[in-house]
A and B are shown apart, each in its own frame.
Chain A
Amino acid sequence: MQQKKTTAKTAAKAKAAPKATVKKAAPKAAPIQTKPETKLEELQSERERKTVLMQGNEAVSYGALDAGCDFFAGYPITPSTEIAEILAAELPKRGGVFVQMEDEIASICAITGASLAGAKALTATSGPGFSLMQEGIGFAKITETPCVVVNVQRVGPSTGMPTSCGQGEIQQSRWGSHGDSPAIVLYPASVKECYELTIRAVNLSEKYRTCVILLLDEVLGHMREAVRLPDLANVRVISRIKPTVPPHWYKHYDENQKYLSPLASYGEGYRFHVTGLTHDQLGFPTNKPSEAADMMDRLRKKIVYNLRDLVQIESYMMEDAKIAIFAAGITARSAKAAVAMAREEGLPVGLLRPLTIWPFPDDAVRKMLRDVDVVVVPELNQGQLVREIQRLHKESSDSKIIKIQRVNGKLISPQEILRKMKGGM
């Protein structure tokens, strides 16, 4: 009886899963050939799918495994280390690779190399390591190599407050690497969402052939919540499309594939070239302005042409709201509580929360700015999120923006949001 109920519940959840993962057009290529003797399915079926207390970092680890990640290279850093520790234990059981590298630079390089050799690869870090990885993230993006970087944010700048919560990398996760590059950044707000968005991050990295970043808050990484992971049958896994053309026809960056071109791996007979230099469709370096422009266009278009697939938001009690709170991650949880408290007092308050923070949900925010009189933006930094709201606000809106910003290691409470909201109105 209990079992039946679970199945129905998880099935329903799967139905409500992110649009991208149930989209029919999503590529469903053959699974990547990993090492022999992989006992993945066997192990996964063994794992009991019952409600357990689980940390955000644990949920990320199991999300990565369930998404088919078979390669992790990383370097210890608080507050992300549990992810490395769990995968160090779990990956060898599944025939996957875990390697502790000499630093974070080596970690991002190793996962990119592994991905080009066919792995679904992931690393996890925090602020200082994330800064070190920026050049490598740019390389993964320009070479269109799928990989996932989990950044469990702590308070910065520099070493900052390693065990305290901050949201200081919202802009860095978009602009951290030099030059213009595509950015897909996901931002969970609960332990369950850590699991779901890790799977989504891996899926999107495979589909869009890019480095996808998962931003966590320190509190979320370490907080434990009751979670029931879905049955594996209900987890939609997307793997990169493999080329079907003979090697001499293969273009590593094929413009005829809606910017989502097939990807060969090293050792499969497609002797392609990959470079961090601006390159042509075959991957060879170029200085021709027309080819350089084509490459940059390709990187941009694969994001902007697919916003509907990429952007995910949660809209909570926004239907009749005249006051909106716009918040992400852990701060959105305080915001949700503040909404409930305000509604009890009869105030028409709602919450808009981005699950995809980059590309930024411009359209949803524009609508919010049109519909409400006041927008409250609480965040654990000195104005990184509100910057985007102001950018869209300038276009056409006379709604009032109330900023709540804090960088001292403490969270913003629901009461504080409510107080500032009332004070600012």
Chain B
Amino acid sequence: MATIPQRIIHDYLRHDKKFPHVWCAGCSNGIILGSIIRAIAGMELNRNDIVMISGIGCSSRMPVYVDFNTMHTLHGRAIAYATGVKLQKPNLKVIVITGDGDCTAIGGNHLIHAARRNIDLTVILLNNNIYGMTGGQSSPTTPHEAVATTAPYGNIEPDFNICQLAMGAGATYVARTTAFHTQETQTMVREAIEHPGFALIEVIAACPVIFGRLNKKGGAPEMMKEMRDNSVPLSAIEKLPPEKVEGKIIRGVLRKEIQPEFTARYADLVKKVQGMGGES
């Protein structure tokens, strides 16, 4: 995969149509988009068979820039729209781009039920710990005591562990990485798309302009360094002393197992019912 040229992403962008993009300088979303495109390019998928669906938020602006079948839907509802597309045309690769607020606050219900059904969607959740587009309100993943415009004295709520939530709901591929780890993101996106079932990748993203400023995180480079220094790969945990793991972001594939997939189950049901003959 390392052989995929950097320039390949330009082949997949809608150049003449919708640029410049809306993301702030230093935002991680473009880096993550690059990883996603390189993963798809490496798989040699027909782009006519890829549907990219998003909700509302900074990360959800992604589909408009890429040359796939794309859909920018309602706040929180991307997974519900994706469920409709996938059920109607199971041969399509359906990728959902969503954010922490979009997917776990307003869209939490759709997330858990899609995970429970184990429908073959690839959900790439860009977690920047804040509502960026509306200017910095607290989200379900804003860390405890972090500052947001709607938590000016520090967030009193505990935050979601999105991967645990997805696993608890039945997702069969769950992984976490950060925007800093572009190769890892690329590998995980590929695995998630190839995985026959509900896949969720939580990509920790930096929002230096809003979350960073409110919480005195420094600029984009400092936040990238924090992702590097403040995360440990799952494979290294056992070798490290507990104090070096405490409070760190755990990166890696947290679950990967094969379970019956929803559209396949539905196809079986259709076959069974049609085999029963014409009685009504």
Binding site for B on A (CB under 8 A): 35, 37, 39, 42-43, 46-47, 71, 73, 89-90, 92-93, 95, 97, 99, 101-103, 105-106, 109-119, 121, 135-136, 139, 265-269, 271-277, 282, 284-285
CA distance A89 to B83 in the complex (A): 20
Chain B: residues with CB nearer than 8 A to chain A?
14, 17-18, 47-49, 51, 53, 63-64, 67-74, 77, 80-85, 87-89, 91-92, 109-110, 113, 266, 269-271, 273-274, 278, 280
- Top 10 nearest A-B pairs by Cβ distance? A113-B84, A109-B80, A110-B84, A113-B81, A114-B84, A117-B88, A275-B72, A106-B80, A102-B113, A114-B88
- Establish whether residues B69 and A266, one from each chain, have CB atoms under 8 Å apart when the complex forms: yes
Which of chain B's residues have a CB closer than 8 A to the CB of A92?
266, 269-270, 273-274
- Contact of A102 with B68 in the complex, beta carbons under 8 Å: no
| B45 vs chain A, min Cβ distance (A) | 12
Closest B residue to A139 by CB, please name it: B74
* Known contacts A271-B69, A276-B72; is-contact A93 B77 (Cβ 8 Å): no
Contact B70 A274 (CB under 8 A): yes
Instruction: Give the residue of A95, A116, A267, A273 whose beta carbon is less than 8 angstroms from that of B91.
Output: A267
Pick from A90, A117, A135, A285: contact of B92, CB under 8 Å: A117
Do A271 and B73 have beta carbons less than 8 Å apart? no
Which residue of chain B has the shortest Cβ distance to A247 in the bound complex?
B48
Contacts of B278 in A (CB 8 A): 42-43, 46
Q: Give the tally of cross-chain contacts (CB within 8 A).
A: 143
The docked-state distance in angstroms from the alpha carbon of A391 to that of B280 is: 49
Instruction: State whether A269 touches B80 (Cβ < 8 A).
Output: no
- What residues on A are CB-neighbors of B77 within 8 Å? 105-106, 109, 136
Q: Looking at the assembled complex, report how far the CB atom of A156 sits from the nearest CB atom of chain B, in whole angstroms.
A: 23
How far does the alpha carbon of A276 sit from the alpha carbon of B55 in the complex, in Å? 10
A112 and B69: CB pair below 8 A?
Answer: no
Known: A46-B278, A113-B80, A114-B87. A276 touches B74 (CB 8 A): yes
Q: Please give, as numbers and ranges, the residues of chain A lying within 8 Å of B73 by CB-CB distance.
A: 109, 139, 276
| A140, chain B: closest CB distance, angstroms | 10
Q: Closest Cβ of chain A: how far from B68's Cβ, in Å?
A: 6
A289 CB, min distance to chain B CBs, angstroms: 18
Kindly report which residue of chain A lies nearest to residue B119, judged by CB atoms.
A99
The answer on a CB contact under 8 Å between B68 and A271 is yes
B70, A285: Cβ atoms under 8 Å? no
User: Quick one: which of A42, A112, A113, A274 has the most chain B CB within 10 A?
Assistant: A113
Cα distance, A404 to B239, chains bound together (Å): 80
In whole Å, how far is A132's beta carbon from the nearest beta carbon of chain B?
Answer: 11
- Cα–Cα distance between A43 and B274 once the two chains are bound (Å): 10
A97 neighbours in B (Cβ, 8 Å): 87-88, 266
A275 touches B64 (CB 8 A): yes
Least Cβ–Cβ distance between B57 and chain A, in angstroms: 13
B141 to chain A, nearest CB (A): 22
Given the contacts A269-B48, A282-B17, A119 and B88 also touching, CB distance less than 8 Å: yes
Add 4 more A-B contacts to A109-B83, A113-B71, A271-B68 (CB < 8 A).
A109-B74, A268-B48, A284-B64, A285-B18
Question: Measured between C-beta atoms, what is the minimum distance from B272 to chain A in Å?
Answer: 8
- Are A99 and B48 neighbours in the complex by a CB distance under 8 Å? no
> Nearest Cβ distance between residue B85 and chain A, in whole angstroms?
4
Q: List 8 A-B contacts (CB under 8 A).
A: A43-B278, A46-B280, A102-B110, A111-B84, A113-B88, A139-B74, A271-B47, A274-B72
Q: Which has the most chain A C-beta neighbours within 10 Å: B53, B63, B85?
A: B85
- The answer, among B18, B92, B270, for a CB contact under 8 Å with A267, is B92
Residues from chain A with Cβ under 8 Å of B49 in the complex: 267
Do A112 and B72 touch across chains, with their CB atoms under 8 A apart?
Answer: no
CB distance from B73 to the nearest CB of A (A): 6
B114 CB to closest chain A CB (Å) equals: 9
Q: Given the complex of chains A and B, what is the CA–CA distance between A285 and B19 in angstroms? A: 11
- CA–CA, A285 to B83, complex, Å? 24
Expressed in whole angstroms, the minimum distance between the Cβ of B46 and any Cβ of chain A is: 9
Given contacts A267-B91, A284-B64, contact A273 B84 (CB under 8 A): no
Which residues does chain B contribute within 8 Å of A113, judged by CB atoms?
53, 71, 80-85, 88
Q: In angstroms, how far is the closest chain B Cβ from the Cβ of A405?
A: 35
